Amino acid sequence: MGTKVLISVDMEGIAGIVHPAETTPERHDYERGRRLMTAEANAVVEGVIDAEPAAEVLVADAHGSYRNILPEELDRRARLIRGKPRELGMLAGLQAGAQVAMFVGYHARAGAGGAVLAHTIADAILDVRINGASHGEIGINTLLAGSYGVPVVLAGGDAAACEEFSALVPRGVTVPVKRGLGQHAADTLHPQEAQDRLRQGAGQAIRLRADHRPMSVPCPLDIEVDLHQPRSADLAALIPGVTRTGRTVAFNAENMAAAYSMLQLLAVLTHLSP
């Protein structure tokens, strides 16, 4: 059997995408965004299988509703995980025995400079700190993968996202497909050029996978989350084990899977009114 590869695909970091109208269902450019997202996923699948024909590839749709990638247009050699809610969210598939993970279409954390569509999980979350260290989705997901013994070997997205990944995984392969000029502006590669670079990067990452080790963090974990709205903190404070100081809520978790589940719940609460 070949290597089991999990490809987690977000949308904000896809080449050509710069605005929520391209990432939000029912907005006028969303269908184009879906096609671009699917094409980048396909490029990475192709790169993996070109490098290792026996690889078993699982693609996790990891944006918004988790129902963005067009199933009928995805490379038929890959299996697709879609829909929510689900265990492990953006990295559903880790529990199916994945050995290597890749991030595609990822974005930088909330507040990052020079980043496109930067945020952390939800717009109402300003920061997430794990044992005192600030992390966006790249860091949170890299730690979650590491807790399952899975190294993340590739990240594709805007330049700021790739720099964020490199700070955590210095030997990982990065494929910057655009450079942020603002929250809704970028200097971007042509989609086909981006796809060619992702295909090459995925192949390189698979060939070098033996050089990578999972990223770990000491457990149990102390988690702090800064929220934009006081009402979100009001709701979070109703959860047993969660404490609140102003707009910051805190909790302890025995491992990254437990921390991740709580973060998913907090993201949902930010969309609710008390």
pLDDT of residue 45: 98
DSSP summary character for residue 114 = T
Cβ atoms of residues 119 and 180 within 8 Å? no
Q: Whole-angstrom Cα distance, residue 9 to residue 27?
A: 20
Please compute Rg for the chain using Cα positions. Answer: 18
Which residues are CB-contacts of 106 (< 8 A; sequence separation ≥ 6)? 10, 12, 13, 137, 138, 155, 156, 157, 161, 165
Q: Whole-angstrom Cα distance, residue 235 to residue 65?
A: 22
Q: Whole-angstrom Cα distance, residue 18 to residue 116?
A: 6
Cβ atoms of residues 120 and 108 within 8 Å? no
pLDDT of residue 1: 77
Please report, as a single letter, which amino acid is at residue 140.
Answer: I
Instruction: Name the residue with tokens 């979100």.
Output: 232
Q: Distance between terminal CA atoms of the chain?
A: 51
Task: State whether residue 143 is helix, strand or coil.
Answer: helix
β-pairing, 56-61 vs 125-130, is unpaired
- Specify the pTM: 0.97
Strand ranges inside the chain, DSSP E: 4-9, 56-61, 78-81, 100-106, 125-130, 133-135, 152-158, 173-182, 185-188, 221-227, 243-245, 248-253
pLDDT in tens, the chain (274 residues): 799 999 999 999 999 999 999 999 988 899 999 999 999 999 999 999 999 999 999 999 999 999 999 999 999 999 999 999 999 999 999 999 999 999 999 999 999 999 999 999 999 999 999 999 999 999 999 999 999 999 999 999 999 999 999 999 999 999 999 999 999 999 999 999 999 999 999 999 999 999 999 999 999 999 999 999 899 999 999 999 999 999 999 999 999 999 999 999 999 988 875 5
Q: Whole-angstrom Cα distance, residue 41 to residue 48?
A: 11
Which residues are CB-contacts of 61 (< 8 A; sequence separation ≥ 6)? 9, 67, 68, 69, 80, 81, 82, 83
pLDDT of residue 93: 96
Domains of the chain: 4-122+136-211 (3.40.50.10780)
* Chain centre distance of CA 246: 28
Instruction: Name the residue with tokens 């971007």.
Output: 188
Tokens of 240: 């047993």
Q: Whole-angstrom Cα distance, residue 107 to residue 12?
A: 6
